[in-house]
Structures are given as C-alpha cells and as structure tokens.
Amino acid sequence: MLAELPSDHSLNRYAWFLIAAMLLVGSNVGIGKSIVAFVPVLVFALLRFVIALAVLWPLLRPSKMRCVKRGEWLNLFLQALFGTFGFTLLMLNGVARTSAVAAGVITSTIPAVVALFAWVFLGERPNARACISIALAIVGIVAVNLSHGTAAAAHGPAGSLAGNLMVLGAVCCESLYVILSRRLTQTLTAIDICAYTHLFGFLLMLPLGIKAMASFDFAAVPSSIWALTLWYGLSASIFSFWLWMKGIRHVHGSLAGVFSAVLPVAAAGYGIVFLGERPTLAHGIALACVITGIAVASVELKRSPPVAS
C-alpha cells in the first residue's frame, strides 16, 4: 500500500518547520557575534559542545555505540573535524571580524559549495541549474568582499576580509560535512550522527577550551550573554536540527534548498536590529545573487501530470 501523501495543510505546516530551522541558523550568525564580543571564541566553542552533549548524552550508550563499524567511526571523526570543530572555530572567529550581514550571505552559499565539492570530489557533474547557482554564489561572495560596511569600519578592510575568508572556510567545512554524511545516512540515523559528531567535536575542542577557560573571568560576562550562549548551544545543535529533519521528511527535496534563502535574511535582520549594522548596496547585490542561485538550483519546473491511458 502506498503511503498517504500529506495534505496541502500538512505541507504548509512542514514548510514552516524548514523556515523556522533556517531562521534559527541565520539568527545564530548574529547571536554568535554578540557572544564573542564578551566570551573568547575557544571558551564559547567548548561551552557550545557541552550544552549540546548535555541533551544528546542519552544517545551515547556504549551498547549502542559498539554497533557502529570501524569505517563509520572514521567517517564520523572526519565529519566532526570539518562540520563541528572546524566549522565552529572558523565561523565564530569570522563573525568576530566581519558583519553579521556579510557572514549570513556567505553562509547561505553552502548549497552551491556542496554542489561544487560533489563535482570535484565525487565526480558528480552539476546540471545547468547547479552551475548557475555556483556562479551566482561566487558573484555574491565577491560582492560581499568588495563592500566596506560596519565590520570594515571597526576592524579595517583587512580585518573584514579576513573575517569573510574565515566564514568562507566555515562554509567549505560544512559542505565537506554534507558530502561525508551522504554515505553514513544509509546506515545510521541522523540524530545518532549528530550525537557522535558532537562527541568528537567536544573531544577535539576540549584541550583548546580548557586552556582558554583557565585565564578567563566568567564573572565579568553579563547574564544576558550567558542566556544567549545557552540558547545558541541548544538552537544550533538541537532545535534547528530537529526542525529541519522534521520538515525535510514531508517536503519535496527539490524545494528544500529554497528555504536556505531564509538564512541570510535572518542574519541580516539580526545584524540590523540588534547590532546596528547598515548593509551596503554590495550586500544587497550579493544577497540577491545568492537567493536567486538557491531558487534556480532547487526549484524544478512544474510539469503537467501524465494523461491516464
């Protein structure tokens, strides 16, 4: 018996799950910038993993983990190295040096970078729409780096460029995570992959974070920043993940990428409202390029239904 297709009402509801997930991811770009203004990156990065593992620890039962094969553990470690450890360090150091608007635009190029990496590393030749998306993403990144917005005023053009390059490095790390996860999702559940990669990420970050914590004055941090830190840890690792996985099961895969366009809008909105950033024309051009690229790559042309014979 064929599974019953969800109604239009259900599709709308699950689409809102995807939108909510991207709103969390996008706003976390700006929230991370707010936090690293008070908390060193290494301290915050370690706390992010501690918060996530406090929720995910029931999934780390030894009896369950013994069922994971050796090759799968290697893949999980590489995913953690790039997708949690590397991504977290590069993203947080990047947003400390550039604007939330710029970081959001660059981060939203992940779908295009995934397509590019799949071509380079897996030999999956992109179709015409994917090539257009990749080209528009490149144009968007170039436009961001030609702008001299809030971050440039605070850190100078060189500092802003360094921040943008770090965020781009984080995008590359996350894209490698996506590529590596393709094989594992055939044998492990998504939530187990999330738990195991966060465990590895915690172990990788622990030596760096402990050293930074030893000389850090925790009492000097406002309580509001600690509240944001708790929220970031939960939303980045738990809430956005659950919302995306819940929605993606009921929304056609060809449409899922469209919701990535919410990310730069959320990041820009947070930067403008809470950080006082003022986007430039270059930011607007970059945002338009990236969103157009996501839409072109993700939305399939609507075909007429076949005529019954």
Write down the pLDDT at residue 183.
78
How far apart are the C-alpha atoms of 23 and 15, rounded to whole Å? 12
Write down the pLDDT at residue 152.
46
Q: Mean pLDDT, to the nearest integer, of 248-269?
A: 83
Say whether pLDDT at 245 is over 60.
yes
- CB–CB of 6/248 below 8 Å? no
- CB–CB of 40/96 below 8 Å? no
Exposure class string for 77-102: b at 16+ Cβ within 10 A, else e: bbbbbbbbbbbbbbbbbbbbbbbbbb
Return the domain boundaries, the chain.
21-213+222-298
Confidence of residue 305 (pLDDT cuts 50, 70, 90): very low
The per-residue pLDDT for range 192-210, each reduced to its tens digit, is 999 999 999 999 999 999 9
Say whether pLDDT at 155 is over 60.
no
Write down the pLDDT at residue 252.
72
Helices 41-56 & 223-234, crossing angle to 10 degrees?
Answer: 50
| Mean pLDDT estimate for the chain | 87
- CB–CB of 281/41 below 8 Å? no
| Closest C-alpha to 195, from 45, 21, 60, 25 | 60
Say whether pLDDT at 3 is over 60.
no
Distance from the first to the final alpha carbon of the chain = 22
Question: What number of residues does the chain have?
Answer: 309
How far apart are the C-alpha atoms of 81 and 176, rounded to whole Å? 10
Q: Mean pLDDT, to the nearest integer, of 12-39?
A: 93
Residue type, 96: A
| Closest C-alpha to 291, from 151, 180, 133 | 133
Confidence of residue 158 (pLDDT cuts 50, 70, 90): low
- Predicted TM-score (pTM) of this structure: 0.88
